[in-house]
Amino acid sequence: MSTPSSTSLPAPRARGITVFVTVSGRASDIDVSFSSSPALPQDEVLSRLIFNRSMGELSPLQLAKLAGAAAELVGGGGNGLVDSLRGAAGLADLDLVTDDDGNVAVQAGTYIQDNVYLGVQAGANGQSKVTINLDVTSDLKVTGATSQDGNSSLGVFYERDY
């Protein structure tokens, strides 16, 4: 017979806020809650934890993603807005990314053949980037990228699972 337990773990500091993740309950009925020091509402704590920004600094798409994450944590599950958009557009990936300076970009990609992945990233700062990944074999991959500012890269990767 198992007894309910509670564990609280401090997460990394997010702009002067220490976030605590508390997991409690039985293994069959887990409850996850968030708190912080100094004390903030749970939605603000999630915003700081996921995006390292306050809710007032989030884009509408980031707010939708935050709402989806919150719904999953409280048992609402289901597909979020971003997952629904990805599926409707027929994309393999659709995500929001943030760089170290807080600039937000939309990243999308799909497989144009079984072994060829094409990705595009468009940022709010006007920068864009195109990437292509070619799976030459199951172990050998070639990746190329070029950005709007003229920077480009090419890489060959050998990866072996043991």
Q: 139 lies in which domain range?
A: 91-158
Same domain, 61 and 104: no
- Would you say residue 123 has pLDDT above 60? yes
Question: Could you tell me if residue 84 is inside a domain?
Answer: no
Per-residue pLDDT tens over the stretch 74-109: 555 545 555 666 666 677 887 777 766 767 777 888
- The last residue of one of the domains, among 18, 47, 73, is 73
Nearest CA among 32, 37, 30 for reference residue 21: 32
Per-residue pLDDT tens over the stretch 9-68: 444 444 578 877 777 777 666 666 778 888 888 778 877 777 777 778 877 777 777 766
H-type alpha helices, the chain = 42-51, 60-73, 81-89
Same domain, 18 and 62: yes
CA angle 79, 11, 123 (to 5 degrees): 55
